[in-house]
Structure 1
């Protein structure tokens, strides 16, 4: 095998685990922007999800992915260990400061659980896989974490049927809204050049 053939092989890009200042700034901005989306959704989620809840209790969680996307989005953009957890936690803290109706501690604790769910998926893939499947798995894991957290905190006395429907709905919503949705957002941002300082921007823009 000649040297030219060897050198033409694509090499795996090593992910640098250390955070740069720009990583912290952008992850924080994403968290704050996500919190504003959370705040708007907090105002309208009850009437929007009420018909689903009336028809099939527990299925209202099919829309709850709108509370789960921050961690997935942060992980996909920053591509560093802790990015999903950090972004979701920033979003939760800002949401609590904006007056989320569940109270400050409960909002932050929920953000911590959801961020950990997404973070664990990126960890499983050793922070080297950032395709749409991984994004949807991260969203699904955030949805599972949300469902378990909510059942323990609010719905422990509910029947097993409600809990199962709520959990499945949360996982589906997380996979589609938070996972697939965040993947499309990253690709859209990459095409504008906004993520040019990140591997996510350079790869997704191709």
Structure 2
């Protein structure tokens, strides 16, 4: 290994994906596509009951599969692959929000998730980092969604409150839940061949 390779390894721990990694990412993406089918009517029901603010409370659940994969696998590129597969599967299954939204949302999620974990050099996986990642996934997609779905008609006050609620949902239902699920699965022994089981929380 030359000097450049050693420097790169110290900065970012690049590791090849195993077959198990790919299978897990595909399974989580497929599970998300199925979950989204059931989340869509729930989202519509919440919107009918409490408008966009109530509907915003479940936002974190739409993003959890990619962040959970990142937490379990802990390799650069995990978010890109998982959210990418998720977008393709959702597009084939059909989405109440349109095919374009599947890919735009996935692109926003993967860029932000990789940026957050890259900032910590893919070595920090504690609760604060996961909460940060869960909340950070929201704003960029919200910006695009506001234009794609006409959120701007809500008015500035409602728009800002909805954004805050979505960020909180991302923190709790994506970041925190990913950490708790990942740790629970690791303790069960199901993830003994993944980084979440082999490494410390960091």
TM superposition score category, shorter chain reference: 0.7 to 0.9
Residue 162 of structure 1: how far off its partner (Å): 2.1
**CA–CA separation in structure 2 for the residues paired with 1:119 and 1:193:** 27
**CA–CA separation in structure 2 for the residues paired with 1:117 and 1:66:** 16
Residue 44 of structure 1: how far off its partner (Å): 2.3
Residue 166 of structure 1: how far off its partner (Å): 1.9
2:13 is aligned to 15
**CA–CA separation in structure 1 for the residues paired with 2:54 and 2:144:** 16
Question: What count of residue pairs does the alignment treat as equivalent?
Answer: 190
Contact 1:190 1:204 in 2 (8 A): no
Structure 2 spans left out of the alignment, 5+ residues: 1-9
Structure 1 spans left out of the alignment, 5+ residues: 1-11
* Structure 2 residue 150 is the aligned partner of structure 1 residue 152: no
Q: Which structure exhibits the higher relative contact order, with contacts defined as CA atoms closer than 8 Å and separated by 6 or more residues?
A: 2
What TM-score results when the alignment is normalised by the length of structure 2? 0.84
2:120 is aligned to 125
What TM-score results when the alignment is normalised by the length of structure 1? 0.83
Residue 190 of structure 1: how far off its partner (Å): 0.6
Residue 59 of structure 1: how far off its partner (Å): 4.5
**CA–CA separation in structure 2 for the residues paired with 1:45 and 1:159:** 20
Call closer, same or farther: CA 1:59–1:42 in 2, change over 3 Å. Answer: closer
* Structure 2 residue 138 is the aligned partner of structure 1 residue 171: no
Of the candidates 68, 83, 107, which is equivalent to residue 112 of structure 1? 107
